[in-house]
Amino acid sequence: MRTVDEIADDISLGIIRLDEAVAELADANRVDDLAELVERRISLPRGDAVACFCARTELPVALMCRALGMTLNGYSAILRMRRRAHLSTEAVPAALLSAYSGVPRPTLEELQGRLMTASESGDQPG
- Cβ 79 vs Cβ 27: under 8 Å: no
- Cβ 1 vs Cβ 28: under 8 Å: yes
pLDDT digit string, tens, across residues 38-64: 999 988 899 999 999 998 888 888 888
Q: How many CA atoms lie within 13 A of 119 on its CB side?
A: 20
pLDDT digit string, tens, across residues 65-77: 988 888 889 998 9
Of 85, 115, 111, the closest CA to residue 100 belongs to 111
> Does 36 map to a domain?
yes
Question: pTM value?
Answer: 0.74
Domain count, the chain: 1
> Does 104 map to a domain?
yes
Q: Which domain holds residue 11?
A: 4-121
> Does 76 map to a domain?
yes
> Does 126 map to a domain?
no
